[in-house]
Structure 1
């Protein structure tokens, strides 16, 4: 997954400082497993939960729709993207129970001052609680997914230099959706 993933995740076509900062963010996300498919199930833990058996992850929609979503998130805002997180397994089956996954990606790499835009896309049913944090600023919104087409949501933050980036996307109860996102960086002068 190493080199091809790097090609998908980062396009350094901006100033050298921004390129280095994006590379550092990418490295932290990769080493933490955030940008390469790690997600966590919504919390459904009970105090007397037995050890899990028959655990499997998968997509709730057909491969064709997952591929369509991945292509869309790569091209939605054009170049250059800072980070692209394609659809990852969207549910976990454990002991016969299906649980939708919550995405929580976090980085502690330094990012220069600028405007950062989170674009979230989903296809399927239900709603997503989307939260985007950089430094001490957070924006949050609820996004509705559509079964027949890709839904888009965007939110932006104008931040000073920071070393904290967090993306959290939590599906509502009963949601059945595939989710992808990207972060784009823009200098304040543009």
Structure 2
């Protein structure tokens, strides 16, 4: 769901949205099938005269096969950083991402996972002023792990 509150100029939000879409167009890892995504979202909201930093946790109820590979791509544009935690079944990957004025991104990969859900947790570090987006894909080539 797209956020109506953005903290970066609309041209930056559009650039981030276009990059998010382009991830699925072509990749060295094979064809990607979109399973879930978060459109550009502000790293904070104004609350009671202060800033409430983004802390989101999205859970997708899907069937993940141990014969396939999966990739979580996270994008951040602006200032500050975010911590990322992705859990797929009993496996978990964690990473920090430093945001950048011209889109910073990272990809986490997992394979050989038999699971019924995926949980993505992203927390913006205090003072971050950024837009954050992600996309979860199934990779067309089995056994490929992005790191």
TM-score bucket (shorter structure): 0.7 to 0.9
Deviation at 1:109, TM superposition (A): 2.9
1:127 aligns with 2:127: no
| Aligned partner (choices 142, 148, 152) of residue 96 of structure 2 | 142
Please list every run of at least 4 consecutive aligned residues from structure 1 whose deviation after the TM superposition is greater than 6 angstroms.
none
Corresponding residue for residue 62 of structure 1: 9
- Name the counterpart of 1:181: 134
* Structure 2 residue aligned with 1:117: 71
Residues of 2 paired with 1:125 and 1:189: CA distance? 35
Provide the C-alpha distance between the structure 2 equivalents of 1:101 and 1:139, rounded to a whole number of angstroms. 20
Counterpart CA distance in 2 for 1:182 and 1:156 is 12
CA contact (8 A) 2:42 2:130 kept: no
CA displacement at 1:181 relative to structure 2: 0.5
Contact 1:59-1:91 within 8 A present in 2 as well: no
Structure 2: stretches of 5+ with no match in the other structure: 26-31
Once residues 117 and 128 of structure 1 are traced to their aligned partners in structure 2, the CA distance between those partners, rounded to angstroms, is 18
Shift of 1:156: 0.5
Show structure 1 runs of 5+ residues with no match.
1-35, 39-56
CA RMSD of aligned residues (A): 2.0
* 1:90-116 per-position Cα deviation (integer Å, ceiling 9, x unaligned): 422222112222221012332223211
Compared CA separation, residues 99 and 68, structure 1 to 2 (3 A):
same
Call closer, same or farther: CA 1:137–1:67 in 2, change over 3 Å. same
Q: CA deviation at 1:69?
A: 0.3
Aligned pairs, number: 136
Question: Is it true that 1:74 corresponds to 2:21 in the alignment?
Answer: yes
2:128 & 2:10 partners in 1: Cα distance? Answer: 18
1:189, distance to aligned residue in structure 2 (A): 5.7
Select the structure with the greater relative contact order (CA < 8 A; seq sep ≥ 6): 2
Instruction: State the TM-score, normalizing by the size of structure 2.
Output: 0.82
